[in-house]
Amino acid sequence: MKPTGIADDAMAHHSMWSAPISEIPPGCSAKFHILWRERLVEGFVVNFDGRYYAYVNYCIHAGTPLDWWPNEFFNEDSRFLVCGTHGSLYEPDSGKCAGGPCGGGTLFPLQVQVTGDRIVVTAT
């Protein structure tokens, strides 16, 4: 996995991104760029208990990226995604605010499929 978690392959600037499953083991994540609502945004995918969930990397509180360190999204006990700016907590499997200043909102989801040995994220 690249140190920053940023993908730099040919798929990086389209409305689809994919990576081998082996690159994102449980408790890990990857970041990428993707076309979403006609804008190039940063997205991320997490492996939470063996299932994959992807979101736009945009905290709904004040709009900053979530990761508290590059490509680090989970809190200490790995039960929640945590925003590094003011500490909002989000449920990894739904993107719903679970505490902090995100005020009951939800992260913007991206679609995830596992196809063969690859994770495929699409923005619709």
Name which of 22 and 64 has its Cβ closer to ligand FES: 64
Q: How far apart are CA 121 and CA 103, in angstroms?
A: 27
Is residue 120 involved in binding ligand FES (CB under 6 A)?
A: no
Stretch that binds ligand FES, among 28-36, 39-47, 72-80, 84-92 (CB under 6 A): 84-92
Residue found by looking up tokens 């970041």 in the block:
31
Is residue 65 involved in binding ligand FES (CB under 6 A)?
A: no
Sequential DSSP letters for 23-57: GS-TT-EEEEEEEETTEEEEEEEEEETTEEEEEES
Residues 91-110 that bind ligand FES (CB under 6 A): 100-101
SS3 call for 11: coil
* Binds ligand FES by CB under 6 A, chosen from 17, 88, 90, 107: 88
Is residue 122 involved in binding ligand FES (CB under 6 A)?
A: no
SS3 call for 21: helix
Which residues sit at the interface with ligand FES, rule CB under 6 A?
Answer: 59, 61-62, 64, 83, 85-88, 100-101
